[in-house]
Each structure stands twice: as structure tokens, then as C-alpha cells.
Structure 1
Amino acid sequence: MTPQESSEPAPDPLAVFARTRFIMVRPSHPGNVGSAARALKTMGFDGLHLVAPRDPAVAHHPEAVALASGAGDLLETAQIHASLAEALAPATLSFALTARPRALGPQVCDIREAAERSAQALANPRHRVALVVGTERSGLSNDELGLCQYACHIPANPAYSSLNVAQALQLCAWELRYALLPLTGQARLPDTHGRHDPGGDPADSAQVAALLEHLEQAMQATGFLDPDHPKKLVPRMRQLWIRAQPSVDEVDMLRGLCTAMIRSRARHTDTSSA
């Protein structure tokens, strides 16, 4: 059977996102769960997992729905687990977020290292990655931390490292997305998909010359330029705009400004004459 005749579907490059889960342990504030859903969806992830949430129906809580801001589908599909061990069961690599140094526990890394390690692991389709955050009040317990391979830190201001759990998940999701994009073939910058904006084309010499003539008229109308004593103002202005290489839209904008200046001066003159 040739490759073209193969019945097996081509691998989905975005599956690396689906093989990443974000676990919130004992979340107590519905707004944080909603904000976390929004943060994850913004970065292309959909694996939101909740361990023993205070409100088992948090996905329908008005505050969670409001702060999800369009990511209600992630709330609806969020999986609820009785324990962290259950939520971590499929993971082959896991990171526990903590702001405190621990005397005992797993290896330590920062979030950027965690993202790089995750990308290396997820290049293999057999791997699953989990990132775990604890409660607002007390974070993760030592026992919960011990279930993960790494204790992960966000290098925040040591004098004030207080990060809301949803904010922490946003930072983690961004770092993971940035690290995973090379595996997906997606661009890191917005793509115009080949659409051409003619207004962004460089103005030609005739358009720039017309602008300079119009600008000279506006400067005379406002009294900024004395035609009897121009000095070097006009050639300097010409050098400025030639060097700037304005676009078609920019030339049109500046000519509109010149027209407004001339009209304003004419109205002022008519009012003064009256």
C-alpha cells in the first residue's frame, strides 16, 4: 500500500495541546475557575481538570461563566476528580507549581524549563504532560507536591510573589504554547494569509511631490512659512519626507491634514474680516 493509499489518518500537529492538562486542586473561588478556562482557551489548550472543587457544579456558577468570557465550552468539559493522584494518572510528566522553597520534594525548575521539558516529551505521542496548581490560600501540600516529577516556580518578584492561581495558569499556558508551537508548525506572529493592503504600499515620487506642494501651501496659509524668506525650510521638509518613505495611506492622511489647516485658516480670515 502506498502512502497515498494508507487508511491511517495523518497525525494532528495540534494533538500536543490535547495531551497537556492543567489541574486545579481544591479550587474554592468560581471566578478563578472561569478565568483559568479563559486563559487556557486563549493559548489553545482545552484540558481543564478540577480536583475536589468546593462547588461540584462550578461550571454553571454565574461568576465562573462570566469570567470565562466565551470559554464556557472549557467549563462544560472540565473533568472533576476525587484526588490529585486520579487526575495525574495518565500523565508521564508532571509539574507542581509552588512559590515556596521546599526542603524535601521533587526536582526544582522554573516555568520556562518546564515548558521546554514538556515540548521535548510531547514530541513523542506516548507522553502526556500535567501542570498542577493548588489553592489560593495554601497552595499544594507536600504530599501533593510529591506526586509530581518537578516542583515548578514562576520567577516573580521575591518581595511580592503573590500570583492569583488563574494568573499563574495564564503564564504557564503561554510558556507552554510558545515552547510547543515549533511542534505544530504554527506561526508565532499573526498571518495576513496573503491579503494585500494597497494603502501600505510605498508612495511614489509623484505622490510625495504632491504632498510637499500641499504641505508648503498649508505652511504658508498658517504663517509658518514666509514665502519671501523661506530660508531652508522647504528643502529640509522635502528631505524629511523623502527619507521617511511614507506609504500611500500616510500621504493621503497628511494631505487631509494640510487641507484641514488651509480651510481652518480661511475660516479664521473670513471671521476676522467680518
Structure 2
Amino acid sequence: MHKPSRPLGSPDTYNDRIRIVLVETSHSGNIGAVARAMKNMGLGNLWMVNPRSFPDETSYARAAGASDVLDTATVVGSLDEALADCVLVMGTSARGRKVPWPVMPPDQAATAAASHCGQGTVALVFGRENHGLSNDELQRCHYHIHIPSNPDYSSLNLAMAVQVMCYELRMNYLKGLETDARRPYLEPIAQPGDAGWDVAPASVGDVEGFFGHLQQVLEEIDFHRRDKPRQLMARLRRLFQRAKLDQMEVNILRGVLSAVQKTAGASGVEQSTSDTGPQAPEQDQGKSHV
């Protein structure tokens, strides 16, 4: 029916002890999508309680490269079997109950899972596509997990709900790797100087050289006049400083300015005040003397 894939390898204690439990899943495609969501986030411990159809071609087709999660999945006949050896059980719930139960959002649930997995297996239980977990099944959970979706359209696809929780588990796991080489992947890459940026930040001297070159070109093409400077250069300086240029970007901009000078010189273009017509307000017309 399918080609066996490589085993998951040797997952560490955290990932191995997080058990995703699907209860009476109706659509085998959802099982494959769940396997994909799990493997995306480094998880591989999948249990199923009475799935309608598994294994089959549809589940493996939807797994899209996560067939190893399906190969090692455990199928049992009851929820009791899936939870018997667990130290903590959390079930997803989209609706309120007559008897209030401890409820956590996904990020707090991930933290709770991390704090207990050192003691043993932690189960995250997901219910049926059409009506979720029954009241009896939810009462077997220590905590309920509520994903705060749009109240006007709160029903999540099974694999989407699993993906939300697997993502939170992954983030919690990575945040705990303070000295691990994978830790930097959590840090943003937003500007030169950040780990992962490809070019060093431009120095103050490089940027000042660019500003001088820019003003020179704007004067040469009669866009900027020293006798009526207004706030043009101040605003352009603010713009480019806000951009936090790197060395390559400064070189590119200087190259553009040199090309403008070369082209303007070759064409013999010499603008004057009379050529541009009436001067428009600074904010209303970009091609004006400011």
C-alpha cells in the first residue's frame, strides 16, 4: 500500500513523551494531516482510538512525507488504553460545560506538558470531527485546552487544532534550549547586525557619505536648492536612518546616484526654476523644489 519510510530516529525525552491521541477519527485524510502537523514540529508519538479507517492510502497520501509517524502509530480500542500509562491528560474542548473544569489556552497547556513530561507521558486528546470529545471523555482529562478561535466560527479542522498545539509545544521546547545551537532560530532577523543577516551594518561614515552624495545629486538635477532647503534633507535622512542600511545597500544607493549623475550629464539636462512651473506644497507634489 505504501513504501515504508525511515523510522523517526531517537527522539529526546520531551518529544517522545508528548502523546497525541485521536479519538474515533472519521476521515483518514485527517489522520495523515495530523501526522504531517506533528512531524513539522518534531513530534512523532501518535495514538488512535478506534479510527474508522486506518491504515489506508488516503492517510498516507495526506501525510506528505510524514509516513514514518503513521508507521509507528499505535491503534487501541478504548481511550482508557491510550491514557493508562500517562501522568497528565489534557483534552481539547470548544464549548462550555455544566460543571466548570480547569481550562488552559494552548501556550499554558504546552508549559504544563513540558513541566510534567519529565515524570512520564503527557497525552493531548483530540475528539471526533463532528462533535469533539464527549462529557465522559473530557472528565478523564486533568485540564481542558481551549483554542480561542472566532466565536462566530469556532470549529477547527482536526489537523488544524493539532497543529496549533504542536506549534506551542515546539516553541516551549525551543525556548528551553538555552545553550543549544537551535536556540537562535527563535530570535528575529529584522535588521543588519542581527544574527543571520548577510551583510554588516553600514558605518556612520558610510551613511554620511551617502547623504552627501544624495544632496549633491538632488542639487545637480535641480530638485533641491540650498537657498530654499525647507526640510527635504532632514526628511530623507530620517527615512534612510529608519531603514538601518547595511554596507551593500549603501553601495547600491551610491551606484544609483552615480548613474543618475552620468545620465543627467550625458543628456545635458539642466533644470531651472522656470522649467518646473509653479512650486507646489512639499507634501502635495513629489517633483517640486523643496
Which amino acid in 2 is paired with 1:22? I
Q: How much has 1:98 moved relative to structure 2? A: 1.3
Distance 1:269 1:169, change over 3 A: farther
Specify which of 150, 155, 159 is matched with residue 166 of structure 1: 159
Which amino acid in 1 is paired with 2:94? A
Kindly report which structure 2 residues correspond to 1:118-267, keeping only aligned pairs within 5 A, or say none.
118-122=113-117, 125-185=118-178, 186=180, 187=183, 189-190=186-187, 199-205=199-205, 207-220=206-219, 222-226=221-225, 229=227, 231=229, 236=234, 240=238, 246-262=245-261
- SS of the aligned residue for 1:118 comes to helix
Deviations 1:64-86 (A, max 9, x none): 44543433322332222222222
Q: Which residue of 2 aligns with 1:19?
A: 17
Q: How much has 1:224 moved relative to structure 2? A: 1.8
- SS of the aligned residue for 2:199 comes to helix
- The total of aligned residue pairs comes to 251
Q: How much has 1:128 moved relative to structure 2? A: 1.1
The whole-number CA distance in structure 2 between the counterparts of 1:257 and 1:65 is 53
Specify which of 87, 91, 102 is matched with residue 92 of structure 1: 87
State whether residues 211 and 237 of structure 2, in contact with CA within 8 Å, keep that contact through their aligned partners in structure 1: no
State whether residues 110 and 153 of structure 1, in contact with CA within 8 Å, keep that contact through their aligned partners in structure 2: yes
Which amino acid in 2 is paired with 1:48? L
Which amino acid in 1 is paired with 2:249? E
Q: How much has 1:127 moved relative to structure 2? A: 1.7
RMSD: 3.5
Deviations 1:13-70 (A, max 9, x none): 9411211011111222233222222222222211122222222214x42xx4454343
The whole-number CA distance in structure 2 between the counterparts of 1:13 and 1:183 is 16
Percent identical: 34
The whole-number CA distance in structure 2 between the counterparts of 1:220 and 1:238 is 14
Q: Which residue of 2 aligns with 1:73?
A: 68
Q: How much has 1:93 moved relative to structure 2? A: 0.6
**TM value normalised by structure 1:** 0.74
Q: Which residue of 2 aligns with 1:103?
A: 98
- SS of the aligned residue for 2:186 comes to coil
- SS of the aligned residue for 2:21 comes to strand
Which amino acid in 2 is paired with 1:161? S
State whether residues 93 and 146 of structure 2, in contact with CA within 8 Å, keep that contact through their aligned partners in structure 1: yes
Q: How much has 1:198 moved relative to structure 2? A: 6.7
State whether residues 99 and 153 of structure 1, in contact with CA within 8 Å, keep that contact through their aligned partners in structure 2: yes
Q: Which moved more, 1:134-143 or 1:112-121?
A: 112-121
State whether residues 13 and 184 of structure 1, in contact with CA within 8 Å, keep that contact through their aligned partners in structure 2: no
**Structure 2 runs not aligned, ≥5 long:** 1-9, 270-290
State whether residues 28 and 54 of structure 2, in contact with CA within 8 Å, keep that contact through their aligned partners in structure 1: no
Q: Which moved more, 1:29-38 or 1:16-25?
A: 29-38
Which amino acid in 1 is paired with 2:200? G
The whole-number CA distance in structure 2 between the counterparts of 1:84 and 1:147 is 9
State whether residues 216 and 234 of structure 1, in contact with CA within 8 Å, keep that contact through their aligned partners in structure 2: no
- SS of the aligned residue for 1:92 comes to strand
**Structure 1 runs not aligned, ≥5 long:** 1-11
